[in-house]
Chain A
Amino acid sequence: MKLLLAALLWLLASLALAGRWTPAEEARALALGNDLRCPVCAGETVSQSTAALARHMLGQIKSQIRSGRSDPQILAYFVARYGRNILLTPPHSGLGLLIWLLPAAALLVGGGLYLRYLRRQDQPDGSAPPEERLAEVDRLIRENSPPELGREHR
Protein backbone atom coordinates (compact mmCIF):
# COMPACT_ATOMS: atom_id res chain seq x y z
CA MET A 1 0.00 0.00 0.00
CA LYS A 2 2.84 2.37 0.96
CA LEU A 3 4.62 1.50 -2.25
CA LEU A 4 1.52 2.28 -4.29
CA LEU A 5 1.11 5.63 -2.53
CA ALA A 6 4.76 6.53 -3.16
CA ALA A 7 4.42 5.62 -6.85
CA LEU A 8 1.29 7.76 -7.11
CA LEU A 9 3.06 10.72 -5.46
CA TRP A 10 6.04 10.30 -7.77
CA LEU A 11 3.73 10.25 -10.80
CA LEU A 12 1.89 13.40 -9.66
CA ALA A 13 5.15 15.23 -8.94
CA SER A 14 6.63 14.35 -12.35
CA LEU A 15 3.42 15.44 -14.08
CA ALA A 16 3.51 18.78 -12.24
CA LEU A 17 7.19 19.30 -13.09
CA ALA A 18 6.71 18.30 -16.73
CA GLY A 19 4.55 21.38 -17.30
CA ARG A 20 7.17 23.74 -15.86
CA TRP A 21 9.86 25.39 -17.90
CA THR A 22 13.43 25.10 -16.75
CA PRO A 23 15.36 28.39 -16.34
CA ALA A 24 17.47 27.41 -19.37
CA GLU A 25 14.38 26.82 -21.54
CA GLU A 26 12.88 30.08 -20.31
CA ALA A 27 16.08 32.02 -21.09
CA ARG A 28 16.36 30.46 -24.55
CA ALA A 29 12.72 31.26 -25.33
CA LEU A 30 13.16 34.88 -24.20
CA ALA A 31 16.33 35.25 -26.30
CA LEU A 32 14.51 33.91 -29.37
CA GLY A 33 11.53 36.14 -28.58
CA ASN A 34 13.91 39.10 -28.57
CA ASP A 35 14.93 38.23 -32.15
CA LEU A 36 11.31 38.42 -33.30
CA ARG A 37 9.23 41.53 -33.88
CA CYS A 38 5.80 41.48 -32.24
CA PRO A 39 3.51 41.62 -35.31
CA VAL A 40 0.72 43.53 -33.55
CA CYS A 41 2.86 46.07 -31.64
CA ALA A 42 4.88 49.13 -32.50
CA GLY A 43 8.60 48.63 -31.97
CA GLU A 44 8.41 45.80 -29.44
CA THR A 45 9.82 42.32 -29.51
CA VAL A 46 7.77 39.21 -28.81
CA SER A 47 9.50 38.90 -25.42
CA GLN A 48 8.87 42.53 -24.45
CA SER A 49 5.24 42.71 -25.52
CA THR A 50 2.27 42.00 -23.30
CA ALA A 51 -0.08 41.62 -26.30
CA ALA A 52 -2.01 38.34 -26.30
CA LEU A 53 -0.62 37.28 -29.69
CA ALA A 54 2.97 37.91 -28.53
CA ARG A 55 2.34 35.82 -25.38
CA HIS A 56 1.00 33.01 -27.55
CA MET A 57 4.01 33.29 -29.86
CA LEU A 58 6.30 32.96 -26.85
CA GLY A 59 4.30 29.89 -25.86
CA GLN A 60 4.83 28.47 -29.36
CA ILE A 61 8.58 29.11 -29.06
CA LYS A 62 8.65 27.22 -25.74
CA SER A 63 6.66 24.31 -27.20
CA GLN A 64 9.07 24.10 -30.12
CA ILE A 65 12.07 24.19 -27.75
CA ARG A 66 10.49 21.32 -25.82
CA SER A 67 10.00 19.34 -29.01
CA GLY A 68 13.75 19.59 -29.67
CA ARG A 69 13.83 22.14 -32.49
CA SER A 70 16.97 24.24 -32.92
CA ASP A 71 17.03 28.06 -32.77
CA PRO A 72 17.39 28.49 -36.57
CA GLN A 73 14.52 26.03 -37.10
CA ILE A 74 12.27 28.00 -34.74
CA LEU A 75 13.13 31.33 -36.40
CA ALA A 76 12.58 29.76 -39.84
CA TYR A 77 9.11 28.65 -38.69
CA PHE A 78 8.11 32.26 -37.98
CA VAL A 79 9.77 33.60 -41.15
CA ALA A 80 7.82 31.06 -43.22
CA ARG A 81 4.57 32.45 -41.79
CA TYR A 82 5.22 36.16 -41.28
CA GLY A 83 7.98 36.85 -43.78
CA ARG A 84 11.51 38.19 -43.18
CA ASN A 85 10.09 41.32 -41.55
CA ILE A 86 9.39 39.30 -38.43
CA LEU A 87 13.14 39.16 -37.76
CA LEU A 88 14.44 42.11 -35.76
CA THR A 89 17.94 41.83 -37.19
CA PRO A 90 18.47 41.51 -40.93
CA PRO A 91 19.84 38.14 -42.09
CA HIS A 92 23.59 37.81 -42.72
CA SER A 93 23.00 36.81 -46.33
CA GLY A 94 21.63 38.26 -49.57
CA LEU A 95 20.34 41.83 -49.31
CA GLY A 96 20.54 41.62 -45.51
CA LEU A 97 24.32 41.26 -45.79
CA LEU A 98 24.43 44.61 -47.59
CA ILE A 99 22.81 46.29 -44.58
CA TRP A 100 25.53 44.86 -42.33
CA LEU A 101 28.40 45.80 -44.66
CA LEU A 102 27.25 49.24 -45.79
CA PRO A 103 28.03 51.14 -42.54
CA ALA A 104 31.53 49.64 -42.39
CA ALA A 105 32.12 50.47 -46.06
CA ALA A 106 30.83 54.03 -45.52
CA LEU A 107 33.16 54.43 -42.53
CA LEU A 108 36.17 53.20 -44.54
CA VAL A 109 35.44 55.40 -47.56
CA GLY A 110 34.64 58.44 -45.37
CA GLY A 111 37.76 57.88 -43.24
CA GLY A 112 39.90 57.51 -46.36
CA LEU A 113 38.55 60.73 -47.86
CA TYR A 114 39.08 62.62 -44.59
CA LEU A 115 42.69 61.37 -44.32
CA ARG A 116 43.35 62.47 -47.89
CA TYR A 117 41.90 65.89 -47.08
CA LEU A 118 44.12 66.22 -43.98
CA ARG A 119 47.27 65.27 -45.95
CA ARG A 120 46.47 67.83 -48.60
CA GLN A 121 46.12 70.54 -45.94
CA ASP A 122 49.62 69.75 -44.61
CA GLN A 123 51.38 69.73 -48.00
CA PRO A 124 52.48 72.93 -49.77
CA ASP A 125 50.53 72.65 -52.99
CA GLY A 126 52.25 75.40 -54.96
CA SER A 127 49.36 77.76 -54.68
CA ALA A 128 51.05 79.86 -51.94
CA PRO A 129 51.85 83.37 -53.26
CA PRO A 130 55.46 83.82 -54.34
CA GLU A 131 57.67 86.47 -52.73
CA GLU A 132 57.38 88.91 -55.67
CA ARG A 133 53.57 88.80 -55.50
CA LEU A 134 53.62 89.38 -51.75
CA ALA A 135 55.88 92.38 -52.24
CA GLU A 136 53.57 93.76 -54.91
CA VAL A 137 50.49 93.36 -52.65
CA ASP A 138 52.39 95.13 -49.88
CA ARG A 139 53.26 98.02 -52.24
CA LEU A 140 49.63 98.31 -53.38
CA ILE A 141 48.38 98.42 -49.80
CA ARG A 142 50.83 101.21 -48.99
CA GLU A 143 49.86 103.21 -52.07
CA ASN A 144 46.10 102.87 -51.47
CA SER A 145 46.09 103.44 -47.73
CA PRO A 146 44.84 106.75 -46.29
CA PRO A 147 47.78 109.10 -45.52
CA GLU A 148 47.72 108.63 -41.74
CA LEU A 149 47.61 104.81 -42.15
CA GLY A 150 50.31 105.04 -44.78
CA ARG A 151 52.55 106.96 -42.37
CA GLU A 152 52.03 104.32 -39.73
CA HIS A 153 52.94 101.74 -42.29
CA ARG A 154 56.14 103.52 -43.09
Chain B
Amino acid sequence: MSRRVLRWWPVALATLIVLALAYGLLKPGQSPVTPLVGQTAPAFSLPTLRGGKISLAALHGRPVVVNFWASWCVPCQQETPTLERFAARYGKQAAFLGVTFSDPVADARRFVQQYGISYPVLIDHRSDTAINYGVTGVPETFFINAQGVIVYHAVGPLTAALLRKELARIGVAVRPS
Protein backbone atom coordinates (compact mmCIF):
# COMPACT_ATOMS: atom_id res chain seq x y z
CA MET B 1 0.00 0.00 0.00
CA SER B 2 1.43 3.38 -0.95
CA ARG B 3 2.36 6.02 1.63
CA ARG B 4 -0.30 8.38 0.26
CA VAL B 5 -3.06 5.84 0.93
CA LEU B 6 -1.66 5.15 4.40
CA ARG B 7 -1.69 8.88 5.18
CA TRP B 8 -5.41 9.11 4.41
CA TRP B 9 -6.70 6.14 6.35
CA PRO B 10 -7.26 8.01 9.66
CA VAL B 11 -9.32 10.60 7.76
CA ALA B 12 -11.32 7.83 6.07
CA LEU B 13 -11.89 6.11 9.43
CA ALA B 14 -13.00 9.36 11.11
CA THR B 15 -15.38 10.08 8.21
CA LEU B 16 -16.83 6.59 8.51
CA ILE B 17 -17.40 7.01 12.26
CA VAL B 18 -19.03 10.45 11.77
CA LEU B 19 -21.29 9.02 9.03
CA ALA B 20 -22.30 6.08 11.24
CA LEU B 21 -23.11 8.44 14.14
CA ALA B 22 -25.09 10.74 11.84
CA TYR B 23 -27.07 7.76 10.53
CA GLY B 24 -27.79 6.64 14.09
CA LEU B 25 -29.00 10.11 15.04
CA LEU B 26 -31.02 10.91 11.94
CA LYS B 27 -32.66 7.57 11.06
CA PRO B 28 -36.40 7.54 11.70
CA GLY B 29 -37.46 6.11 15.08
CA GLN B 30 -38.39 2.46 15.11
CA SER B 31 -41.12 1.02 17.29
CA PRO B 32 -39.58 -1.32 19.84
CA VAL B 33 -40.09 -4.95 18.95
CA THR B 34 -40.44 -7.18 21.96
CA PRO B 35 -38.18 -10.21 22.02
CA LEU B 36 -41.32 -12.14 22.98
CA VAL B 37 -42.65 -12.19 19.40
CA GLY B 38 -42.38 -15.79 18.23
CA GLN B 39 -42.23 -17.02 21.84
CA THR B 40 -44.86 -18.65 23.99
CA ALA B 41 -46.97 -15.96 25.65
CA PRO B 42 -46.18 -15.62 29.39
CA ALA B 43 -48.85 -17.22 31.53
CA PHE B 44 -51.12 -15.16 33.76
CA SER B 45 -54.09 -15.62 36.00
CA LEU B 46 -55.68 -12.33 37.02
CA PRO B 47 -58.88 -11.13 38.70
CA THR B 48 -61.42 -9.42 36.45
CA LEU B 49 -63.29 -6.18 37.12
CA ARG B 50 -66.56 -8.15 37.28
CA GLY B 51 -65.18 -10.65 39.80
CA GLY B 52 -63.71 -14.07 39.15
CA LYS B 53 -60.41 -14.89 37.50
CA ILE B 54 -59.20 -15.51 33.97
CA SER B 55 -56.05 -17.39 33.09
CA LEU B 56 -54.35 -17.57 29.74
CA ALA B 57 -53.94 -21.32 30.12
CA ALA B 58 -57.74 -21.73 30.17
CA LEU B 59 -57.90 -20.07 26.74
CA HIS B 60 -55.38 -22.42 25.11
CA GLY B 61 -56.51 -23.47 21.66
CA ARG B 62 -58.12 -20.09 20.93
CA PRO B 63 -56.49 -17.00 19.48
CA VAL B 64 -56.16 -14.28 22.14
CA VAL B 65 -55.82 -10.50 21.94
CA VAL B 66 -54.33 -8.96 25.11
CA ASN B 67 -54.66 -5.18 25.28
CA PHE B 68 -52.84 -3.25 28.05
CA TRP B 69 -54.55 0.07 28.73
CA ALA B 70 -55.23 2.77 31.32
CA SER B 71 -58.10 5.21 31.73
CA TRP B 72 -55.66 8.16 31.83
CA CYS B 73 -54.12 7.25 28.48
CA VAL B 74 -55.47 9.32 25.57
CA PRO B 75 -54.51 6.87 22.76
CA CYS B 76 -56.35 4.15 24.74
CA GLN B 77 -59.48 6.31 24.64
CA GLN B 78 -59.04 6.61 20.88
CA GLU B 79 -58.59 2.89 20.20
CA THR B 80 -61.18 1.45 22.60
CA PRO B 81 -64.30 1.96 20.40
CA THR B 82 -62.52 0.20 17.50
CA LEU B 83 -61.34 -2.64 19.72
CA GLU B 84 -64.82 -3.02 21.21
CA ARG B 85 -66.35 -3.18 17.70
CA PHE B 86 -63.93 -5.96 16.68
CA ALA B 87 -64.45 -7.81 19.98
CA ALA B 88 -68.21 -7.78 19.42
CA ARG B 89 -67.76 -9.05 15.87
CA TYR B 90 -65.01 -11.66 16.39
CA GLY B 91 -65.43 -12.49 20.09
CA LYS B 92 -66.59 -16.02 19.27
CA GLN B 93 -63.45 -16.84 17.31
CA ALA B 94 -60.89 -15.13 19.55
CA ALA B 95 -60.71 -14.07 23.19
CA PHE B 96 -60.31 -10.34 23.71
CA LEU B 97 -58.85 -9.30 27.06
CA GLY B 98 -58.09 -5.88 28.48
CA VAL B 99 -55.43 -5.56 31.21
CA THR B 100 -55.27 -2.41 33.31
CA PHE B 101 -51.88 -0.71 33.64
CA SER B 102 -51.07 1.54 36.63
CA ASP B 103 -54.71 2.50 36.98
CA PRO B 104 -56.92 2.63 40.10
CA VAL B 105 -59.75 0.08 39.92
CA ALA B 106 -62.45 2.77 40.31
CA ASP B 107 -61.06 4.72 37.33
CA ALA B 108 -60.85 1.56 35.24
CA ARG B 109 -64.46 0.69 36.11
CA ARG B 110 -65.63 4.17 35.05
CA PHE B 111 -63.75 3.82 31.77
CA VAL B 112 -65.33 0.42 31.08
CA GLN B 113 -68.79 1.88 31.65
CA GLN B 114 -68.10 5.01 29.61
CA TYR B 115 -66.90 3.07 26.55
CA GLY B 116 -69.29 0.12 26.97
CA ILE B 117 -66.48 -2.44 27.01
CA SER B 118 -68.00 -5.92 26.77
CA TYR B 119 -64.80 -8.02 26.86
CA PRO B 120 -63.24 -9.01 30.21
CA VAL B 121 -60.91 -6.50 31.83
CA LEU B 122 -58.25 -7.91 34.14
CA ILE B 123 -56.65 -6.11 37.07
CA ASP B 124 -52.84 -6.27 37.12
CA HIS B 125 -52.27 -4.73 40.57
CA ARG B 126 -48.47 -4.80 40.77
CA SER B 127 -47.92 -4.71 36.99
CA ASP B 128 -46.42 -8.23 37.22
CA THR B 129 -48.14 -9.28 33.99
CA ALA B 130 -47.19 -6.02 32.24
CA ILE B 131 -43.53 -6.59 33.21
CA ASN B 132 -43.80 -10.24 32.15
CA TYR B 133 -44.89 -9.01 28.71
CA GLY B 134 -42.20 -6.31 28.56
CA VAL B 135 -44.78 -3.53 28.43
CA THR B 136 -43.24 -0.04 28.44
CA GLY B 137 -46.40 2.04 28.20
CA VAL B 138 -50.00 2.01 27.06
CA PRO B 139 -51.64 1.08 24.84
CA GLU B 140 -49.75 -2.06 23.90
CA THR B 141 -51.45 -5.11 22.40
CA PHE B 142 -50.31 -8.69 21.94
CA PHE B 143 -51.81 -11.00 19.32
CA ILE B 144 -51.47 -14.62 20.42
CA ASN B 145 -52.33 -17.55 18.15
CA ALA B 146 -54.19 -20.73 19.11
CA GLN B 147 -50.88 -22.43 19.94
CA GLY B 148 -50.17 -19.75 22.54
CA VAL B 149 -47.39 -18.04 20.56
CA ILE B 150 -47.12 -14.23 20.37
CA VAL B 151 -47.42 -13.35 16.68
CA TYR B 152 -47.49 -9.56 16.89
CA HIS B 153 -46.88 -6.82 19.42
CA ALA B 154 -48.61 -3.51 18.67
CA VAL B 155 -47.25 -0.37 20.31
CA GLY B 156 -49.67 2.56 20.19
CA PRO B 157 -53.36 2.81 19.34
CA LEU B 158 -54.95 0.05 17.29
CA THR B 159 -56.58 0.82 13.98
CA ALA B 160 -59.23 -1.18 12.11
CA ALA B 161 -56.71 -2.03 9.35
CA LEU B 162 -54.13 -3.31 11.85
CA LEU B 163 -56.73 -5.32 13.75
CA ARG B 164 -58.00 -6.93 10.54
CA LYS B 165 -54.46 -7.85 9.47
CA GLU B 166 -53.26 -9.21 12.81
CA LEU B 167 -56.48 -11.04 13.67
CA ALA B 168 -56.18 -12.86 10.34
CA ARG B 169 -52.57 -13.76 11.21
CA ILE B 170 -53.64 -15.42 14.46
CA GLY B 171 -56.26 -17.48 12.68
CA VAL B 172 -59.44 -15.40 12.87
CA ALA B 173 -61.59 -15.56 9.72
CA VAL B 174 -61.82 -11.82 9.14
CA ARG B 175 -64.72 -10.68 6.96
CA PRO B 176 -64.12 -7.91 4.44
CA SER B 177 -65.22 -4.54 5.81
Contact = CB atoms under 8 A, between A and B. Distances in A.
B131 A60 contact: yes
B149 to A, nearest CB: 15
B35 A56 contact: no
Which of A40, A52, A81, A113 has most chain B Cβ within 10 Å? A81
B136 interface: yes
A60 B102 CA distance: 15
A83 interface: yes
A81 B128 CA distance: 12
B42 to A, nearest CB: 8
Contact of B130 (A53, A59, A80, A83): A53
Given A53-B102, A81-B35, A59 B126 contact: yes
Contact of A81 (B102, B133, B137): B133
A57 B32 CA distance: 19
Nearest to A59: B126
B27 to A, nearest CB: 15
Contacts of A79: 35
A39 interface: yes
B35 A53 contact: no
Q: Is the interface of A mostly helix, strand, loop or mixed?
A: helix
B26 to A, nearest CB: 19
Given A40-B137, A52-B102, A53-B102, A83 B131 contact: no
Contacts of A39: 136-137
Contacts of A53: 102, 127, 130-131, 135-136
Given A53-B130, A56-B131, A82 B136 contact: yes
Interface in B112-133: 126-128, 130-133
B61 interface: no
Interface size class of A (residues with CB under 8 A): 10 to 19
Contacts of A82: 34-35, 134, 136
A56 B132 CA distance: 11
A85 B32 CA distance: 10
Contact of A57 (B33, B35, B36, B131): B131
Nearest to A102: B17
B10 interface: yes
A60 B130 CA distance: 11
B132 A81 contact: yes
Contact of A83 (B35, B126, B127, B135): B35
B128 A60 contact: yes
A95 B137 CA distance: 28
6 contacts: A40-B136, A53-B102, A81-B131, A81-B132, A81-B133, A83-B35
Interface of B: 10, 32-36, 42, 102, 126-128, 130-137
Given A56-B127, A57-B131, A83-B32, 8 more contacts: A53-B131, A56-B126, A56-B128, A59-B126, A60-B128, A81-B34, A81-B42, A81-B133
